[in-house]
Amino acid sequence: MNIIKYMFSISCILYTLASCSDDNENFSHMEISDIEILGVEESYRKYSMQDSLIIPITIRSGYDEEDLKYAWFIYKKNDKESVDTISREKDLKYPITEEPSEYSVAVKVQHAVNHYAVYAKTTLNVETAFSRGFYILKSTPEGNTDIDFRAEDGKPGYDLLSKSLGAPLNGYPQTLAQMINYPFVNKETNKRVYGYALGITTEKDLCLMEVKNMSLIHDRNTLFFGGENENRGKPGRFARGYLNEHYISADGCYSISAGKNLFGTNLSTGRFPQPDPTQGGSKWIAFHNAPYNWGFLYWDEINRRFLSLDFYGNVSTFAGDEAEYQPNNINGKVVFMGTTHFAEANDIYAVLQTPGNEKRSVYQLSYTRDDNPIKKVTIMEADSKFSQADHYAICVHSAPILYYIADNQLYYYSFVTETEAPITTLQGLPVGEKINYVSNRFWKALRDVSFDYLVVGTTAGNGNYTLSMYNMIGGQPNGNPVIQFRGVGKIADVQYVSPLFNEIWDWDSSGYGLSY
């Protein structure tokens, strides 16, 4: 009986193996065809809650169409644990509901029988209506501060502070700062997050606004530990550093870790503790970006001296020496500071006005922690347009020159030849409007748009402004404005905001638009 059972078992095994052999033999006759996916672009930019991601694809393959199946996935960039399946149709039609961020979208095309599959992937940058474009800091007819916005597609937004806060910010405008990856507490979820912010200072007040929806992050009463009775020194400016977020005022320099930087994520409430013991500051600051030597020089208008700020948030004073020009107890005040990176330079320039002296001085400085930063001082003649100017700006990348406005005319001063000359190629300005603002605004971050504009602001007699942006050749405006935008008020500062920023490479290249 056992022998019969044994023989029956062997027969079953042999039959099974023969069946498997037949299956393999049949499968081996199936032709394996490649699959090519066409129609997926390298990247897409869409508005959250407004746009849909539509990607029709074309398949090149030897398989029958009915034997192919599809799956579309989305996940946050470099976070594959967040993968979500969003469609199983061939062509993607997906309404965007994600938070503003950078995402990866992938499609999988697979044969239903042999399971051979190929993938195609793209980058999706989810933005909001306010997350990309030019922000214009302006004074209102009453002398307070508000913000206008010109989106990438040209759509305008006016008086954003008034609409968000209920009224303009008190005081005449000083500076507008890009605060990348600022940490704060989301008021809806009560969780710590980080995002893109605008740091706004006036001569009397300050605030931080979240870019994606123009909501208030902090005002003067909530920004500091200690409440409304603390930290009442004259406002200076906000500044995003290499590792930290900074706020500089007459009280000194405050620093906290950025929400995301080279060393990971450090989420705080975004409130500042006590400032560095070295007191004093102002709105004038310049950024030095030589690799492994990132830092700032800024002007202390109370003690009339230059101070150094390293990328850890430490402030240093400069020791005196026997040099003719000293960095401390300077008889004068700074009316401009800026940096040029032309030809890979990192030269910082400051324009100083001495009380009772009609001659202005050009200070050439270098970033240092201890030594005297002053490399050279050039005294300008009293009758020069330079000494009579009422607004200055530096050309950051295109040429080693300084722009300024005198007698409703735009001039430039060459750091190389040490001469001044009018800019004669300025075209397309509104007739009858007065020039009151000039700057160089640029954006060259990786995997993003790229531009380098000379920006000119004019004001009409009825209180309206016109903002004109020019392409440049050698620091000179080339042709008519490529962008013109109009609003009510007087321009005080302009910044470009983009949701794309590479924490490693964009610092090294100074290709982003942090304009100090």
For 484, phi then psi, to 5°, come to -135, 135
Which residue has 């910010």 as its token pair?
Answer: 169
Q: Evaluate whether 297 touches 365 at the Cβ level (below 8 Å).
A: yes
Q: Give the model's pLDDT for residue 515.
A: 66
Q: Evaluate whether 102 touches 123 at the Cβ level (below 8 Å).
A: yes
Please tell me which residue, 341 or 6, carries the higher pLDDT value. 341
Q: Evaluate whether 126 touches 51 at the Cβ level (below 8 Å).
A: no
Q: Give the model's pLDDT for residue 242.
A: 85
Domains of the chain: 35-127 (2.60.40.10), 129-153+160-283 (no CATH)
Q: Evaluate whether 97 touches 84 at the Cβ level (below 8 Å).
A: no
**Can you give the length of the chain in residues?**
516
Task: Give the chain's mean pLDDT.
Answer: 89
Q: Which residues pair with 37 in a beta bridge?
A: 59
Question: Any idea what DSSP says for residue 229?
Answer: G
Strands of the sheet containing 192-202, edge to edge, are 173-185, 192-202, 206-210, 215-219
Mean pLDDT of 282-297: 88
Cβ neighbour number for residue 55 with a 10 Å cutoff: 19
pLDDT band of residue 15 (cuts 50, 70, 90) is: very low
Give the Cα separation of 331 and 310 in Å (integer). 26
| 513: pLDDT strictly greater than 70 | no
Q: Give the model's pLDDT for residue 239.
A: 95
Give the Cα separation of 140 and 377 in Å (integer). 37
Output the CA–CA distances (angstroms, integers) from residue 407 to 51, 385, 462, 486, in the order listed.
48, 8, 20, 23
Q: Evaluate whether 463 touches 489 at the Cβ level (below 8 Å).
A: yes
pTM, whole model, 2 decimals?
0.84
Q: Give the model's pLDDT for residue 18.
A: 39
pLDDT band of residue 4 (cuts 50, 70, 90) is: very low
| 347: pLDDT strictly greater than 60 | yes
- 125-135 per-position pLDDT tens digit: 898 889 899 99
Q: Give the model's pLDDT for residue 100.
A: 84
Q: Give the model's pLDDT for residue 8.
A: 35
User: CA triplet 169, 175, 179: central angle to 5 degrees?
Assistant: 95
Q: Percentage of the chain with pLDDT > 90?
A: 71
| 3: pLDDT strictly greater than 80 | no
Q: Percentage of the chain with pLDDT > 70?
A: 91
Give the Cα separation of 396 and 342 in Å (integer). 6
| 292: pLDDT strictly greater than 80 | no
For 8, phi then psi, to 5°, come to -65, -40
Q: Give the model's pLDDT for residue 509.
A: 64
Q: Which of 24-33, 113-122, 222-231, 455-464 has the lowest mean pLDDT?
A: 24-33
Please tell me which residue, 240 or 507, carries the higher pLDDT value. 240
- 31-64 per-position pLDDT tens digit: 678 999 999 999 998 988 889 999 999 999 999 9
3-state secondary structure of 321: coil
DSSP letters, 27-66, are HHTS----EEEE---SEEEEETTT-EEEE--EEEESS-GG
Token couple for 448: 């993003």
Mean pLDDT of 140-159: 95
Amino acid in the structure at residue 311: F
3-state secondary structure of 508: helix
pLDDT band of residue 25 (cuts 50, 70, 90) is: very low
Q: Give the model's pLDDT for residue 99.
A: 84
Give the Cα separation of 466 and 480 in Å (integer). 14
